[in-house]
């Protein structure tokens, strides 16, 4: 063995050690690299009842009535959109399933009624007409604080020709199921 042979073996061992050290360092740095994550989705701020605007109410709502009068169902679906003539107002359709109501249908209310109304400072007002001409009910409510405009509570008043003169106010809760 020549003096250069030992040098060659020493260099090979040193190269092997350096290679292992580099591989270990590379592997450690890869393991410590944080994975790239997508930016978090922007957080939607919740509007106060006073900040909710008419356009925030556009969409489909479920309505629950507490102790509705005989012949009217306890649940309904309400579709709200921009009023065709008054851009700051609401218009839409109220859909009721009279098959689900105890006592049969009240003649002056229909399964499909037209509605029109306004929202001002968190106060919700809606007129209902079962025939497109005569007022058959009135709605007065408030946007529930902390609901981000997705819940409205108030009272429904039967104003139809069938309503007794002392018709009770019927509490309601509206919940937005989809908006547009």
Please compute the mean of the pLDDT values over residues 75-83 and round it to a whole number: 97
Please compute the mean of the pLDDT values over residues 87-92 and round it to a whole number: 96
Please compute the mean of the pLDDT values over residues 53-72 and round it to a whole number: 94
Please compute the mean of the pLDDT values over residues 26-37 and round it to a whole number: 52
Return the structure tokens found at 159: 């104003």
Residue 7 pLDDT grade (very low, low, confident, very high; cuts 50, 70, 90): very low
pLDDT at 46: 92
pLDDT in tens, 120-135: 999 999 999 999 999 9
If you average pLDDT over each of 41-50, 82-91, 158-167, 171-180, which comes out highest?
A: 82-91
Residue 138 pLDDT grade (very low, low, confident, very high; cuts 50, 70, 90): very high
In the chain, where the domains are located? 1-30, 54-179
Is the model more confident about 158 or about 7? 158
**CATH says 54-179 is which class?**
mainly beta
pLDDT in tens, 37-51: 666 666 668 999 999
Quote the pTM value. Answer: 0.74
Statement: residue 4 has pLDDT above 50:
no
């Amino acid at each position: 063995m020549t003096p250069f042979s030992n040098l060659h073996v020493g260099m090979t061992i040193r190269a092997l050690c350096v290679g292992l050290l580099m591989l270990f360092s590379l592997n450690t740095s890869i393991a410590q690299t944080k994975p790239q994550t997508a930016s978090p989705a922007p957080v939607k701020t919740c509007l106060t009842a006073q900040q909710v605007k008419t356009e925030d109410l556009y969409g489909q709502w479920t309505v629950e009535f507490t102790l509705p009068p005989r012949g009217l169902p306890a649940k309904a679906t309400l579709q709200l959109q921009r009023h065709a003539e008054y851009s700051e107002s609401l218009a839409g359709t109220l859909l009721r399933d009279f098959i689900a109501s105890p006592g049969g249908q009240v003649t002056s209310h229909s399964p499909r009624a037209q509605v029109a109304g306004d929202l001002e400072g968190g106060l919700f007002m809606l007129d209902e007409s079962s025939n497109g001409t005569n007022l058959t009910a009135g709605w007065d409510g408030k946007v529930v604080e902390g609901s981000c405009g997705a819940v409205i509570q108030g009272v429904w008043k039967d104003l139809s020709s069938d309503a007794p003169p002392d018709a009770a106010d019927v509490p309601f809760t509206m919940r937005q199921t989809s908006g547009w």
